Structure formats: structure tokens, C-alpha cells
Amino acid sequence: MKVLKFGGTSVANAENIKKVQAIVASESEEKKMAVVVSALGGVTDLLLKTADLAVKQDESYKDTLQHIEDRHLETIQQLIPITSQSAIISKVKQHLNQLETLYEGLYLLGEITPRTSDKIVSYGELLSSYIISEFFKVAGLDAALKDSRDLIKTNKHFGKAQVNFKLTNTNCYFYLKGAKHQVTVLPGFVASTVEGETTTLGRGGSDYTAAIIAGAVDAKTLEIWTDVSGMYTANPKVVKQAKAIAKISYEEAMELSHFGAKVLYPPTVQPVLEKKIPIHIKNTFQPHEVGTLIVQEDFKEELPVKGISNVDKIALLTLEGVGMVGIPGISKRLFEVLSQEEISVVLITQASSEHSICLGINAAETEKAECAVNEAFAYEISLNKIKPVIIESGLSIIALVGDQMKSHQGLSGKMFSTLGKNNVNIRAIAQGASERNISAVIDEKDVNKALNVLHERFFEEQTKQLNLFVTGVGNVGEKFLAQINQQKKFLKERLKLNIRVVALSNSKKMVFNESGISLSNWQEELAEGEAASLDGFFEKVKSCNLRNSVFVDNTANDVVAATYHKYLKNSIAVVTCNKIAAASDYQNYQLLKKLAFNYNVPFLFETNVGAGLPIIDTLKNLIASGDRIHTIKAVLSGSLNFVFNNFDNDHNFHDVVQQAKVEGYTEPDPKIDLSGVDVARKILILARESGYQIDMEDIENIPFLPQESLDAPSVPEFFETLKTHDTHFNNIYEQATEKGARLKYVATFENGKAKVGLEEIPADHPFYNLEGKDNIVLFYTDRYQEQPLLIKGAGAGADVTASGIFADIIRVGSN
């Protein structure tokens, strides 16, 4: 004999019930089957909600009741041929009338007992099993209905009654052995006391009903049909990469369900464990998928961690005080009082000093627990030997589960370092003596992130998801997005990096999409976004709370640069081509570096110097390998290089600068380049990254622009001055040409001092042949004393800058 159980979603409506019927019909070779069904999906919640409204004397309970009625009648109308409908509808109406009377009672009394509550919710399963059994018959199955309340006997613990297995096993065994029909349909969840009062087995208890029956009749298998294809490595609704576990031991399944894997009601394993009846979890909507087999087996060669689960709505109860040290019996008293109050303890930790005990309980029970424990220890509390109970709520437990965890070292280290790296604060830790699970209590808001990073670490080691929050979609930003789009596949396959752009913002709009903004069509998504605000953007990034988050600044904006510290403090990496932060006052630069270090998160700005050229990275590598930088000589302005390479007798200075701006080689305000400020910032950053404490005012800037240009209040006025001072520029050019030299704007750092200015470069100098918008840097170090280390290449332009940002993103990925 086989026992099959179909959950709420599987029987939520006529369409799904037809799928259920097809599955049962496909087992035609099976001589006998027990089919346990849940209430139509969501009906149990509706029944409880209606009761709550009635108790509060809110007339709208009638509307929800009507909704319950409609759902059932609609299902009948869609399943049963018209000619057979009336008898079934009239029976269902009878049930609904009884239900209505119960609700009227609640409305009048204004209160509800657990006994009445059980009576009310039982209608969910009573109605569904009746309708389904009638449909099975019209669909040609040899089926009959049996009320589980006649078979499953419990104590009077309404709401979550305990089963009397002796009576129940006998009832089930004899009834089903003698059953004349191939298929017996039974309502899940409901049971009764010996006196015949309706009880229930606890929320999600239909799984348990099926297991009780399977155990009693020594079924061949117990099939749990639900809306997912088995027990997954983590809740598939939260972790997209989760996979169904093919085989799992009873103990692992119990542990995962105890720690929140809702797909199986925790007590379900118990009735089938002794007889080693396999449990098969299958998907009603994908019946051909293999699902999960729960069996008694030793899976020695498997991964040590089988799954990760989470329980939400947890509170921590801490009892502490000097009066606890070395006094036996404190924990015993604590557990006794909790057990008397029927408060179940989900997790226990005790520091070895015995100075405190910390327990995880369901948040709904905190008040009851607090009162009971304070009362039980009132005497010690009055003597200040023990402090009144401390309660912290808004917490969740996440647990790693696996039989083989005990024979693997370092798993907890891996677990906690992964959580730490992602800024998930751990409030308490527990490890069962069986070492079948390691659990941690964390903030509820971190659960999503924690599950995903742990899943990545233990099951997808090979791929890493990076979540990008990008601000600035101008020249550089646009190219950057196009490059990611183009390289996505390669990165995933070759570098095992999965890059997702979660947010985009320009100065007007911002858009968030946790499943990733389409990179071929982002303009449209952004256009439909909400009004942009820097604070709003940050708050949203923070509340997304995604693992491996990276804030990407593609602007040149000082207000954006002033927000970096907030990101770093939340363990969000910062990648920027904006020079303002790294070139701001030393204290701020230092603070950002320190935050990055303390929060163990990258702060990268390679593109601040030489666009995509690996200048800062090389510098860092030199220093990390023990070298010391003495002198840096560089041409660092692609824009100025472009200008002076194109400026000659045939092209006037104004037009060349204009062209550089149009081609995107200058800052939006070209004065920043031409005044030397931009180059000064770059050499400042290089000096700082070489380990020197230096500020902008320490840099000597020898200007070549006339004062009037330097003072120009706007970009157009600046360009005007370039025209009026044409001769000035021509003179500079002539002087250099006469000496056979070329003009280059050079930055120098030597003996702890930096300077920038236009220089006449003779023909035998490495800078002489620098073409186009190229940059060049010479590093003179301990190791490179005579022949400097030279880096040269395109140092300006949106494309190379974008690729430099991209390279930083990849560095974050390999961090």
C-alpha cells in the first residue's frame, strides 16, 4: 500500500485537483492507496482570519466567510458535471452552515477557545477531502472518503494534539486493510479525542496525518506531493540557486524541517522512521522530476553540508547573573518552567563560565516566557543574584545541516567567516552534540543575504554573485554597462563571476531590480524609475542587503563622493572613477581606507589615474611585495597630452581644447584639466598610495594658463579666454619648437614633494614620443633604481575608463 499526501497548493483549485487526480490515476497498478489532502490552499488561513474578525465583532467576517464559500462552490462547479452537482453542493452547504453558526457564536461571545478554533479550521480539510473524493469518483477512480477523525486519536491538546499511537495504529490498520475501494481519500490535519471532539495536529500537519497512516499500515512508501520538486539545499523561494536534494537521511530531513524547511512538517518523519518507510517528496506540477527521497542510508561520500534552513520570528531569552556560577539546577529550573508553560526551546547556548544561559524561542511566546521565568527566579532576582530575563526579538535562526559534518573540520569557521565578510552580525551560536547541525541566530533582516552567501559558499563554491549599484550612466557609465553586457557570459563561464546590475541612477532617476536590470534595455527601465536621490539610493541599497554588493560611482560629482563612507560602513564595496574622494583632504582619504580595511571590503579607484592602465594596482603590488617608491615621473593627463600633441602652427589652442572636450577626453569642465588640478589630484593619489602623507596644497602647480582663463567663472567664458589669449599659447609652442622640444604636462613626485606643470621635453626623453591621449608613468623604486618601471598606454577616454572600472569590479570578485 502507498500513502500519498497532497498539500494546499496542490489542491488549491479545480485545475490543480485535476492534476492530483491524474497522478493518482497513473498509479493504477497499485492495489490500495490512501490519499491524504490538505485544505484548498490558503483556506486554513482564511478560516482563522474569519474567526479573528468575528471575535473582534467585525462584521466583515461575513465577507471572508462568503469568500471561503465561493472558493469551494466554484471548485465544485468546475470539477463536477452539472447533473451531479446539486447533491454535492447541498452537502457542502450543510458544512458551511455549521461553520456559519460557529462564527456567529464567536461574534456574540467575543472570544474563542482552542477547542472551537480546532473545530473551525477542521472544515478546511473536511470540505476539500469531500469534494476531491467526489471528483475522483466522477473521474472514474474507485474511491471513497474516510474521515481521519474516526481513525486518528489524540489527547485534548487542541491546536497541536498528541497522537495516541496505540489506538490510532489499530484503527488505521484495520480500517485500511478492510477498505473495499482502491483509493481512500482522507482529510489531513484533523483528528479527534477519544470522546469524539475534533482536534488538529498543528499547522502544516497534513504531512503528519499521512505519515501516521503510512506507519500504521506499514506502507511501501509515503509520497508527499507539494509545490516544489523536493527538499532543496535551501528554501527555493529565497535562494534561486537552490537545488533539490536527491537523497537525504531521516535525521537530516528532520533537522532541516525542525530548522524551518517548511516542505516537511517536523514530526512527519517519526511515525515512518522505525519501519524505515521511505518518504518521497514530489512536485504535483512537475510530476516527472525526481524529487527527494528520504531514507535510512549512510551517504559517506557526499557533501558534508546537505542543506541550509532558517526559522524566522525567533526571540533570544537570556538569563544571567553572578548567582548562576557553579550553582547546580539553574538550567533544570529554567527548562522546567518553560516546559510547564509549553514553550518550546528551539536553540540553546550556554557560555562555559555558566554565567549566562541563552535560549532561542518563538517570538510569539516571549511575553509568556518572560513572565514565567522572572516569576520562577523572583527570589534570586530580588537578591540581585540573577538579572531579570533579557529578551531580544526580531531574530532568525539559520542552520547548516548534514550527517557528515562531524567528520569535516573547519565548517563552522567557513560558515562564520562567510557571514562576517558579508556584514551579518551573529547573536548566538549553537552546535548539536551530534554535530549534525550548526546554527546561528542573526537579525531577521539579514536572513535572505545569509542564506544566499552560505549557499554560495557551500553549494556553488565555483560561482560568485556580484550585485552592482551603479550611479552615473553618462559617457563612462554607458560604456561600462555595455561592456558588462558583452562579457557576462565569459565572466560566468571562465571567471565564475555572476554580475548583476541591481540598481542604476543618474541625476534625475533611479531604478532598482533585485533580479537584475536588463543590460540591453536599461535606458527604458531607468526612464520609468523613481525620482533620484542620493540618500534614497543609499537607503535602498542598504535595505536590499544583498551579498557582495558594490557601489559603482561613474560620476565626477563631489556630493556622490561624500557618500562612500556610508557604503563602506555597511560592508558595501566602492568602485569609482571619481577622483574627488581619493584626492580629498588626507584625513578623509585615510578614513575611507581605514573603513575599507576594518569592514574588510574593497575601495577601488584604479581609473583615478591613467584610466584603464593598471597603475595603482601595480603600485600596490610593488609595495605589498616589499618595494619602496622614491620617485614618480609621469604624464598623467590624456586630455593635456591630446591637446599638446595636436596643437601646432595649423591648429589654434582654443579649437584643439574644444575638440578634446567633444571627443570626451576632458573632464566636463576642461579647466580642471588645463589648470593642472586634475593632474595634481592624480599625482596626489599616487603619492598617497605609495605611502606618503600629502595634501593638495603641498603640490606645487606651475600654471601655463593666463590668469584670466584661470578665473573664468563658466565653461563658455573659459573657452572665450582661450581665444583671446591665442598669442600666449602660440608663444609657448614656438619656444619649445625652437629648442627641438615637445610640450608635455608632467607630474613629478620626488623626495616627498610633488609638482605639476608644462615642460619642454627634449627628443631623447621617454616622454618625447608619447602620442595621442596616451599616459606614461615611471616608477623609481628600491628595485627599479636606474631603469624605472614604466607603464604606458591610452590614459583617457570613456572606453578605457569603463574597462578600468570593470577591472576593479573583477578585483572585487576575486577578493
The verdict on 228 binding ligand ADP (CB under 6 A) reads yes
The verdict on 50 binding ligand ASP (CB under 6 A) reads no
Query: Could you tell me which stretch among 192-200, 235-243, 332-340, 743-751 binds ligand ADP (CB under 6 A)?
Result: 235-243
Nearest-angstrom CA–CA distance, 628 and 639? 30
Beta bridge partners of 431: 438
Q: Least distance (Å) from ligand ASP to the CB of residue 200? A: 8
Which one of ligand ASP, Mg ion, ligand ADP, none interacts with residue 124, CB within 5 to 8 A by kind?
Answer: ligand ASP
The verdict on 612 binding ligand ASP (CB under 6 A) reads no
Binder to ligand ADP among 231, 376, 381, 401 (CB under 6 A)?
A: 231
Nearest-angstrom CA–CA distance, 352 and 652? 81
The verdict on 271 binding Mg ion (CB under 5 A) reads no
Task: List the interface residues with ligand ADP, window 268-327 (CB under 6 A).
Answer: 307, 309
682 part of the active site: yes
Minimal CA–CA distance to 210: which of 229, 174, 185? Answer: 185
Q: Quick check: helix, strand or coil at residue 497?
A: strand
Q: Which three cell numbers stand for residue 120?
A: 473551525
Q: Which three cell numbers stand for residue 85?
A: 452537482
Query: Could you tell me which stretch among 3-11, 86-94, 170-178, 334-342 binds ligand ADP (CB under 6 A)?
Result: 3-11
Nearest-angstrom CA–CA distance, 204 and 184? 21
Which one of Mg ion, ligand ADP, ligand ASP, none interacts with residue 235, CB within 5 to 8 A by kind?
Answer: ligand ADP
Nearest-angstrom CA–CA distance, 153 and 59? 36
Nearest-angstrom CA–CA distance, 95 and 123? 7
Residues 115-154 as x/- pattern, contact with ligand ASP by CB under 6 A: ---------x------------------------------
Which one of ligand ADP, ligand ASP, Mg ion, none interacts with residue 231, CB within 5 to 8 A by kind?
Answer: ligand ADP
CB atoms within 10 A of CB 648: 12
End-to-end CA distance of the chain: 55
Nearest-angstrom CA–CA distance, 595 and 581? 13
Query: Could you tell me which stretch among 76-84, 234-242, 602-610, 707-715 binds ligand ADP (CB under 6 A)?
Result: 234-242
Using the minimum distance from each CB to ligand ASP, give the nearer residue, 6 or 719: 6
Query: Could you tell me which stretch among 63-71, 197-205, 292-300, 566-574 binds ligand ASP (CB under 6 A)?
Result: 197-205
* Beta-sheet strands, E only, within 188-259: 190-193, 198-200, 221-226, 247-249
Query: Could you tell me which stretch among 137-145, 198-206, 752-760, 762-770 binds ligand ASP (CB under 6 A)?
Result: 198-206
Contact 191, 154 (CB under 8 A): yes
Q: How many Cα atoms within 13 Å fall on the side-chain side of residue 435?
A: 10
Query: Could you tell me which stretch among 259-267, 340-348, 412-420, 514-522 binds ligand ADP (CB under 6 A)?
Result: 259-267
Contact 249, 302 (CB under 8 A): no
Binder to ligand ADP among 2, 3, 7, 560 (CB under 6 A)?
A: 7
The verdict on 205 binding ligand ASP (CB under 6 A) reads yes
Q: Least distance (Å) from ligand ASP to the CB of residue 267? A: 12
The verdict on 307 binding ligand ASP (CB under 6 A) reads no
Question: How many residues lie near ligand ADP (CB under 6 A)?
Answer: 20
Nearest-angstrom CA–CA distance, 621 and 107? 75
The verdict on 225 binding ligand ASP (CB under 6 A) reads no
Active-site position among 579, 682, 773, 792: 682
The verdict on 236 binding ligand ADP (CB under 6 A) reads yes
Reported as type and span, the H/E element at residue 176 is helix 165-178
Binder to ligand ASP among 21, 44, 637, 639 (CB under 6 A)?
A: 44
Which sign does the torsion angle of CA 668, 671, 674, 675 carry?
Answer: negative
Q: Least distance (Å) from ligand ADP to the CB of residue 79? A: 19
Binder to ligand ASP among 204, 267, 271, 477 (CB under 6 A)?
A: 204
Minimal CA–CA distance to 781: which of 678, 691, 682? Answer: 691
Task: List the interface residues with ligand ASP, window 171-190 (CB under 6 A).
Answer: 188-189
Using the minimum distance from each CB to Mg ion, give the nearer residue, 204 or 321: 204
Contact 125, 190 (CB under 8 A): yes
The verdict on 204 binding Mg ion (CB under 5 A) reads yes
3-class SS letters over 254-323: HHHHHCCCCCCCHHHHHHHHCCCCCEEEEECCCCCCCCEEEECCCCCCCCCCCEEEEEEEEEEEEEECHH
Which one of ligand ADP, ligand ASP, Mg ion, none interacts with residue 266, CB within 5 to 8 A by kind?
Answer: none
Contact 746, 632 (CB under 8 A): no
Using the minimum distance from each CB to ligand ASP, give the nearer residue, 207 or 251: 207
Tell how far CA 608 is from the center of its chain. Answer: 31
Minimal CA–CA distance to 384: which of 318, 324, 317, 327? Answer: 324
Using the 8-state DSSP alphabet, how is residue 342 labeled? T
Q: Least distance (Å) from ligand ADP to the CB of residue 132? A: 14
Using the minimum distance from each CB to ligand ADP, give the nearer residue, 145 or 228: 228
Q: Least distance (Å) from ligand ADP to the CB of residue 294? A: 12
Nearest-angstrom CA–CA distance, 561 and 582? 9
Tell how far CA 570 is from the center of its chain. Answer: 15
**Residue for cell digits 571627443?**
663
The verdict on 664 binding Mg ion (CB under 5 A) reads no
Task: List the interface residues with ligand ADP, window 8-47 (CB under 6 A).
Answer: 8-10, 38
Cβ-proximal residue to ligand ADP, closest one: 7
Question: How many residues lie near Mg ion (CB under 5 A)?
Answer: 2
Query: Could you tell me which stretch among 37-45, 497-505, 524-532, 807-815 binds ligand ASP (CB under 6 A)?
Result: 37-45
The verdict on 39 binding ligand ASP (CB under 6 A) reads yes
Q: Least distance (Å) from ligand ASP to the CB of residue 16? A: 14
Q: Least distance (Å) from ligand ASP to the CB of residue 481? A: 45
Rg, the chain, Cα only: 36
Give burial (CB, 10 Å; 0-12/13-18/19+) of 462.
Answer: exposed
Cβ partners under 8 Å of residue 264, min gap 6: 207, 224, 231, 253, 256, 257, 279, 281, 294
Using the minimum distance from each CB to Mg ion, give the nearer residue, 7 or 664: 7
Contact 104, 96 (CB under 8 A): no
Using the minimum distance from each CB to ligand ADP, give the nearer residue, 40 or 616: 40
The verdict on 471 binding ligand ASP (CB under 6 A) reads no
Query: Could you tell me which stretch among 224-232, 569-577, 618-626, 763-771 binds ligand ADP (CB under 6 A)?
Result: 224-232
**Residue for cell digits 490510532?**
168
Using the 8-state DSSP alphabet, how is residue 633 labeled? E
Edge-to-edge strand ranges of the sheet holding 437-443: 345-350, 356-362, 307-320, 390-401, 437-443, 426-431
Cβ partners under 8 Å of residue 799, min gap 6: 479
Using the minimum distance from each CB to ligand ASP, give the nearer residue, 103 or 123: 123
Q: Is 445 left (phi over 0), alpha (psi -120 to 50) or beta?
A: alpha
Query: Could you tell me which stretch among 204-212, 606-614, 668-676, 701-709 binds ligand ASP (CB under 6 A)?
Result: 204-212
The verdict on 204 binding ligand ADP (CB under 6 A) reads yes
Q: Least distance (Å) from ligand ADP to the CB of residue 4? A: 12
Which one of ligand ASP, ligand ADP, Mg ion, none interacts with residue 39, CB within 5 to 8 A by kind?
Answer: ligand ASP
Using CB under 6 A, list all residues that contact ligand ASP.
Answer: 7-8, 38-39, 44, 124, 188-189, 203-207
The residues assigned a catalytic role are: 682
Using CB under 5 A, list all residues that contact Mg ion.
Answer: 7, 204
Using CB under 6 A, list all residues that contact ligand ADP.
Answer: 7-10, 38, 204, 226-228, 231-232, 234-237, 261-263, 307, 309
